[in-house]
Amino acid sequence: MVKKKIAIYGKGGIGKSTTVSNIAASFDDLTFVIGCDPKADTTRTLVGKRIPTILDTIRTNKQPELEEILYDGYNNTLCVESGGPEPGVGCAGRGVIVAMKLLDQLGAFESDPDLVIYDVLGDVVCGGFSVPLREEYADEVYIVTSGEYMSLYAANNIAKGVQKLNGKLGGIICNCRNVEDEIEIVTEFAALLKTKVIGVIPRSQLVQTSEFQAKTVIEVFPDSQQAEEYRKLTKNIMENDDFVSPTPMQSDEFEKFFYSYVH
Protein backbone atom coordinates (compact mmCIF):
# COMPACT_ATOMS: atom_id res chain seq x y z
CA MET A 1 0.00 0.00 0.00
CA VAL A 2 1.21 3.51 -0.82
CA LYS A 3 2.42 5.47 2.21
CA LYS A 4 0.57 8.72 2.81
CA LYS A 5 1.04 11.99 4.68
CA ILE A 6 -2.27 13.80 4.92
CA ALA A 7 -3.58 16.94 6.59
CA ILE A 8 -7.21 17.14 7.61
CA TYR A 9 -8.58 20.65 7.98
CA GLY A 10 -11.94 21.94 9.12
CA LYS A 11 -13.79 24.55 11.12
CA GLY A 12 -13.46 24.20 14.87
CA GLY A 13 -16.12 21.86 16.24
CA ILE A 14 -16.97 20.27 12.89
CA GLY A 15 -15.73 16.85 13.97
CA LYS A 16 -12.33 16.66 12.30
CA SER A 17 -10.62 15.32 15.42
CA THR A 18 -13.24 12.58 15.71
CA THR A 19 -12.76 11.82 12.02
CA VAL A 20 -8.97 11.73 12.33
CA SER A 21 -8.98 9.43 15.35
CA ASN A 22 -11.41 6.98 13.75
CA ILE A 23 -9.41 6.93 10.50
CA ALA A 24 -6.30 6.12 12.52
CA ALA A 25 -8.12 3.47 14.56
CA SER A 26 -9.41 1.76 11.42
CA PHE A 27 -6.00 1.60 9.70
CA ASP A 28 -4.08 -1.49 10.75
CA ASP A 29 -0.57 -0.45 9.71
CA LEU A 30 1.62 1.98 11.67
CA THR A 31 -0.07 5.39 11.88
CA PHE A 32 1.37 8.62 13.28
CA VAL A 33 -1.28 11.08 14.48
CA ILE A 34 -0.17 14.66 15.08
CA GLY A 35 -2.69 16.94 16.74
CA CYS A 36 -2.16 20.52 15.55
CA ASP A 37 -5.28 21.94 17.16
CA PRO A 38 -4.61 24.00 20.34
CA LYS A 39 -7.50 22.17 22.06
CA ALA A 40 -5.14 19.16 22.05
CA ASP A 41 -7.97 16.62 21.93
CA THR A 42 -7.19 14.73 18.72
CA THR A 43 -5.49 11.77 20.36
CA ARG A 44 -7.61 11.47 23.51
CA THR A 45 -9.78 8.66 22.10
CA LEU A 46 -6.74 6.79 20.77
CA VAL A 47 -4.67 6.91 23.96
CA GLY A 48 -7.66 6.82 26.32
CA LYS A 49 -6.76 10.11 28.00
CA ARG A 50 -5.40 13.55 27.26
CA ILE A 51 -1.66 13.44 26.77
CA PRO A 52 0.87 16.16 27.69
CA THR A 53 1.41 18.50 24.78
CA ILE A 54 4.78 19.42 23.33
CA LEU A 55 4.39 23.04 24.40
CA ASP A 56 3.48 22.05 27.96
CA THR A 57 6.42 19.66 28.11
CA ILE A 58 9.06 22.11 26.92
CA ARG A 59 7.88 24.75 29.39
CA THR A 60 9.45 22.61 32.12
CA ASN A 61 12.01 20.67 30.08
CA LYS A 62 13.66 22.49 27.18
CA GLN A 63 15.23 19.30 25.82
CA PRO A 64 12.71 16.45 26.20
CA GLU A 65 13.29 12.92 24.97
CA LEU A 66 11.00 11.53 22.28
CA GLU A 67 9.26 9.20 24.74
CA GLU A 68 8.19 12.23 26.79
CA ILE A 69 6.04 13.59 23.96
CA LEU A 70 5.15 10.52 21.88
CA TYR A 71 2.51 8.08 23.13
CA ASP A 72 1.27 4.69 21.98
CA GLY A 73 -2.39 4.61 20.99
CA TYR A 74 -5.04 2.12 19.94
CA ASN A 75 -4.35 -0.19 16.99
CA ASN A 76 -0.73 0.55 16.20
CA THR A 77 -0.89 4.33 16.40
CA LEU A 78 1.72 6.82 17.59
CA CYS A 79 0.23 9.99 19.04
CA VAL A 80 1.48 13.49 19.76
CA GLU A 81 -0.18 16.84 20.51
CA SER A 82 1.47 20.16 19.66
CA GLY A 83 -0.63 22.13 22.14
CA GLY A 84 -1.16 25.86 22.38
CA PRO A 85 -0.27 28.86 24.53
CA GLU A 86 -1.99 29.80 27.75
CA PRO A 87 -5.31 31.56 27.06
CA GLY A 88 -4.79 35.14 25.96
CA VAL A 89 -1.05 34.73 25.52
CA GLY A 90 0.78 34.17 22.24
CA CYS A 91 -0.16 32.66 18.89
CA ALA A 92 -1.66 29.16 18.83
CA GLY A 93 -0.21 28.51 15.40
CA ARG A 94 3.28 29.12 16.77
CA GLY A 95 2.92 25.90 18.76
CA VAL A 96 2.60 23.94 15.53
CA ILE A 97 5.87 25.41 14.25
CA VAL A 98 7.71 24.61 17.50
CA ALA A 99 6.23 21.10 17.60
CA MET A 100 7.18 20.20 14.05
CA LYS A 101 10.76 21.38 14.51
CA LEU A 102 11.13 19.37 17.71
CA LEU A 103 9.65 16.21 16.17
CA ASP A 104 12.14 16.54 13.33
CA GLN A 105 15.05 17.04 15.71
CA LEU A 106 14.10 14.01 17.78
CA GLY A 107 13.71 11.75 14.73
CA ALA A 108 10.01 11.12 15.31
CA PHE A 109 9.44 10.31 11.64
CA GLU A 110 12.19 7.71 11.50
CA SER A 111 9.68 5.06 12.61
CA ASP A 112 8.60 5.19 8.93
CA PRO A 113 4.81 5.14 9.48
CA ASP A 114 2.53 4.00 6.68
CA LEU A 115 0.11 6.86 7.36
CA VAL A 116 0.79 10.25 8.92
CA ILE A 117 -2.26 12.36 9.78
CA TYR A 118 -2.18 16.01 10.80
CA ASP A 119 -5.33 17.30 12.48
CA VAL A 120 -5.31 21.02 11.72
CA LEU A 121 -7.63 23.82 12.80
CA GLY A 122 -9.18 25.56 9.81
CA ASP A 123 -7.57 28.91 10.54
CA VAL A 124 -5.21 29.14 7.57
CA VAL A 125 -4.81 32.88 8.13
CA CYS A 126 -2.26 32.14 10.84
CA GLY A 127 1.05 30.94 9.41
CA GLY A 128 1.44 28.27 12.06
CA PHE A 129 -1.58 26.33 10.91
CA SER A 130 -0.25 26.25 7.36
CA VAL A 131 2.96 24.51 8.47
CA PRO A 132 1.99 20.95 7.46
CA LEU A 133 1.49 22.19 3.90
CA ARG A 134 3.96 25.07 3.72
CA GLU A 135 6.84 22.99 5.06
CA GLU A 136 5.79 19.95 3.00
CA TYR A 137 5.16 17.67 5.97
CA ALA A 138 1.85 16.71 4.37
CA ASP A 139 1.30 15.75 0.73
CA GLU A 140 -2.49 15.71 0.61
CA VAL A 141 -5.32 17.75 2.10
CA TYR A 142 -8.86 16.72 3.01
CA ILE A 143 -11.46 19.18 4.30
CA VAL A 144 -14.20 18.19 6.75
CA THR A 145 -17.49 20.05 6.49
CA SER A 146 -21.19 19.66 7.07
CA GLY A 147 -23.97 21.26 5.06
CA GLU A 148 -24.19 24.17 7.50
CA TYR A 149 -23.39 27.71 6.39
CA MET A 150 -20.43 28.46 8.68
CA SER A 151 -18.86 25.05 8.12
CA LEU A 152 -19.01 25.47 4.34
CA TYR A 153 -17.82 29.07 4.60
CA ALA A 154 -14.76 27.92 6.58
CA ALA A 155 -14.17 25.07 4.14
CA ASN A 156 -14.18 27.52 1.23
CA ASN A 157 -11.63 29.70 3.06
CA ILE A 158 -9.48 26.66 3.73
CA ALA A 159 -9.59 25.87 0.02
CA LYS A 160 -8.27 29.38 -0.64
CA GLY A 161 -5.33 28.62 1.63
CA VAL A 162 -4.69 25.27 -0.05
CA GLN A 163 -4.74 26.97 -3.44
CA LYS A 164 -2.35 29.70 -2.30
CA LEU A 165 0.10 27.13 -0.88
CA ASN A 166 -0.10 24.99 -4.05
CA GLY A 167 -1.48 22.13 -1.99
CA LYS A 168 -3.14 19.01 -3.35
CA LEU A 169 -6.78 18.69 -2.33
CA GLY A 170 -7.90 15.09 -2.24
CA GLY A 171 -11.55 15.66 -1.44
CA ILE A 172 -14.26 16.79 0.94
CA ILE A 173 -15.43 14.72 3.91
CA CYS A 174 -19.10 15.29 4.68
CA ASN A 175 -19.60 14.97 8.43
CA CYS A 176 -23.37 15.09 8.60
CA ARG A 177 -25.39 17.29 10.94
CA ASN A 178 -28.76 16.23 9.49
CA VAL A 179 -29.20 19.43 7.50
CA GLU A 180 -31.88 19.24 4.82
CA ASP A 181 -30.37 18.22 1.44
CA GLU A 182 -26.99 17.99 3.19
CA ILE A 183 -25.25 15.48 0.95
CA GLU A 184 -26.53 17.26 -2.16
CA ILE A 185 -25.26 20.60 -0.83
CA VAL A 186 -21.81 19.26 0.05
CA THR A 187 -21.56 17.36 -3.24
CA GLU A 188 -22.26 20.54 -5.23
CA PHE A 189 -19.84 22.48 -3.04
CA ALA A 190 -17.12 19.93 -3.78
CA ALA A 191 -17.84 20.11 -7.50
CA LEU A 192 -17.55 23.90 -7.46
CA LEU A 193 -14.11 23.48 -5.91
CA LYS A 194 -13.30 20.99 -8.72
CA THR A 195 -12.99 18.12 -6.24
CA LYS A 196 -15.22 15.34 -4.90
CA VAL A 197 -16.85 14.03 -1.75
CA ILE A 198 -14.54 11.26 -0.62
CA GLY A 199 -16.61 10.11 2.33
CA VAL A 200 -19.94 10.66 4.08
CA ILE A 201 -20.07 10.15 7.84
CA PRO A 202 -23.64 9.95 9.22
CA ARG A 203 -24.58 11.68 12.45
CA SER A 204 -24.68 9.03 15.16
CA GLN A 205 -25.11 8.81 18.92
CA LEU A 206 -22.39 6.14 18.88
CA VAL A 207 -19.78 8.88 18.43
CA GLN A 208 -20.75 10.64 21.65
CA THR A 209 -21.15 7.35 23.52
CA SER A 210 -17.66 6.18 22.58
CA GLU A 211 -16.10 9.57 23.31
CA PHE A 212 -17.60 9.50 26.81
CA GLN A 213 -15.35 6.45 27.29
CA ALA A 214 -12.34 8.24 25.72
CA LYS A 215 -12.38 5.73 22.88
CA THR A 216 -13.11 5.67 19.16
CA VAL A 217 -16.22 4.25 17.54
CA ILE A 218 -13.93 1.70 15.87
CA GLU A 219 -12.86 0.36 19.27
CA VAL A 220 -16.19 0.48 21.13
CA PHE A 221 -18.59 -0.39 18.31
CA PRO A 222 -16.43 -2.25 15.75
CA ASP A 223 -19.38 -4.02 14.12
CA SER A 224 -21.58 -0.93 13.76
CA GLN A 225 -22.51 0.75 10.49
CA GLN A 226 -20.84 3.90 11.79
CA ALA A 227 -17.53 2.05 12.16
CA GLU A 228 -17.96 0.69 8.64
CA GLU A 229 -18.37 4.22 7.27
CA TYR A 230 -15.09 5.25 8.89
CA ARG A 231 -13.41 2.19 7.36
CA LYS A 232 -14.80 3.11 3.93
CA LEU A 233 -13.45 6.64 4.32
CA THR A 234 -10.02 5.32 5.28
CA LYS A 235 -9.98 2.97 2.29
CA ASN A 236 -11.05 5.77 -0.04
CA ILE A 237 -8.28 8.04 1.23
CA MET A 238 -5.59 5.37 1.03
CA GLU A 239 -6.59 4.46 -2.54
CA ASN A 240 -7.08 8.04 -3.70
CA ASP A 241 -4.76 9.31 -6.42
CA ASP A 242 -7.00 12.10 -7.72
CA PHE A 243 -5.83 15.51 -6.50
CA VAL A 244 -6.60 19.05 -7.58
CA SER A 245 -5.64 22.62 -6.92
CA PRO A 246 -9.02 23.82 -5.63
CA THR A 247 -11.06 26.62 -7.19
CA PRO A 248 -12.60 28.32 -4.14
CA MET A 249 -15.51 30.67 -4.57
CA GLN A 250 -15.45 34.42 -4.03
CA SER A 251 -17.76 35.69 -1.31
CA ASP A 252 -20.61 36.64 -3.64
CA GLU A 253 -20.37 33.30 -5.47
CA PHE A 254 -20.48 31.43 -2.17
CA GLU A 255 -23.52 33.36 -0.98
CA LYS A 256 -25.34 32.65 -4.24
CA PHE A 257 -24.47 28.94 -4.01
CA PHE A 258 -25.58 28.52 -0.42
CA TYR A 259 -28.80 30.51 -0.60
CA SER A 260 -29.89 28.65 -3.71
CA TYR A 261 -30.69 25.81 -1.27
CA VAL A 262 -32.44 28.04 1.24
CA HIS A 263 -34.82 30.08 -0.94
Question: 5, 37, 119, 123: which is the annotated catalytic residue?
Answer: 123
Q: Is 11 marked active-site?
A: yes
Distances (CA, A) of 185 to 10, 75, 175, 180, 196: 17, 34, 12, 9, 12
Question: 39, 160, 168, 196: which is the annotated catalytic residue?
Answer: 39
Q: Is 160 marked active-site?
A: no
Q: Is 39 marked active-site?
A: yes
Question: 4, 5, 11, 215: which is the annotated catalytic residue?
Answer: 11
Question: 16, 37, 119, 215: which is the annotated catalytic residue?
Answer: 16
- Which residues belong to the active site? 11, 16, 39, 123
